[in-house]
Amino acid sequence: MAVASALRLILGSSSASRRQILSEMGYHFTLLSADIDEKEIREDKPEELVVALAHAKADAIMAKLRSNGMMKEILDSQETTLLITADQVVVHDGVIREKPSTPEEARKFIKGYSESHAATIGSVLVTNLKSGARKEGWDKAEVYFHKIPDEVVESLIEEGNVFYVAGGLLVEHPLTSPLVEAIVGTIDSVMGLPKSLTEKLIKESLEEP
């Protein structure tokens, strides 16, 4: 968790959960969002999809840095700058679920988890902006739920946060956390940024010559 003074981190994400997790890991970082159309990138396997999306986000952010002149500053600096991008999908009954786009879709997703389970597949990509080297990986976790009452489903939809997370899956929410029967894996993986994988990839990126 020790952070070298010559290390600068950029988190390429607008996810509040990922910001929280990276802060918990003891890192200081700046934020940039990729603003890509994720639905333009399609892969059959969830592991391949989330890794491809993390690469697409890194490409988009690097293009932003080049266009606004920040990339030149990064390359001229004595600091090593690492860009972290990530993506996540939920798999339920063998079907890949991304962020729900309508209340009807969110309702279908959340009701489907009731007395059932879902898997989260999440990628992490660390790009060394000086060398261009990329280190990638993915992690999986499973969440088992008790019965989710209809009033909880409707409250979550009305609140709106379900539309910003893969599969509308909010395990850390006060309404849903008491309904989680078990998690196989880690809560940080379910929330979108597996700590151990992220730490491993940061270390590997710093070992690059």
**Residues annotated catalytic, as ranges:** 87
Going by their DSSP bridges, the two strands 80-92 and 117-128 should be labelled as antiparallel
Token pair recorded at residue 157:
């939809």
One DSSP character per residue, the chain reads: ----TTEEEEE----HHHHHHHHHTT---EE------GGG---SSHHHHHHHHHHHHHHHHHHHHHHTTHHHHHHHSSSEEEEEEEEEEEEETTEEE----SHHHHHHHHHHHTTSEEEEEEEEEEEETTT--EEEEEEEEEEEE----HHHHHHHHHH-GGGGSGGG--SSSTTTGGGEEEEES-HHHHTT--HHHHHHHHHHHHT--
